[in-house]
Amino acid sequence: MFFEHFLDSWIQDESAWPEKRTLKMFREWFDIEYRSIVWDMGHEPLGIDEWMDDDLDDVDLSIMH
């Protein structure tokens, strides 16, 4: 899905895309960089969990550095 997303940004005619797309090919075609960003490739709407600061009362924060 990720491969197709980037191919679509280059060429929208899917018949021009390579028929067999592999992880090896993806790695050859693209530079992979680790970033602090999340791509939501799902089709479902995002959910929001409601919580309050009071929920932290039971959390042991001493383990956080």
Residue 63 lies in a domain: no
Whole-angstrom distance, CA of residue 19 vs CA of residue 8:
14
pLDDT tens sequence across 7-52: 888 888 888 888 888 889 888 888 888 777 777 777 888 777 676 6
Q: Residue 3 has which token pair?
A: 């491969």
Residue 59 lies in a domain: no
Q: What contacts 18, CB < 8 A, 6 or more positions away?
A: 25
Whole-angstrom distance, CA of residue 2 vs CA of residue 14:
14
Residue 61 lies in a domain: no
Residue 35 lies in a domain: yes
Full DSSP string of 4-19: HHHHHHH---GGGS-S
Residue 53 reports pLDDT greater than 80: no
Domain with 39, as residue range(s), is 1-43
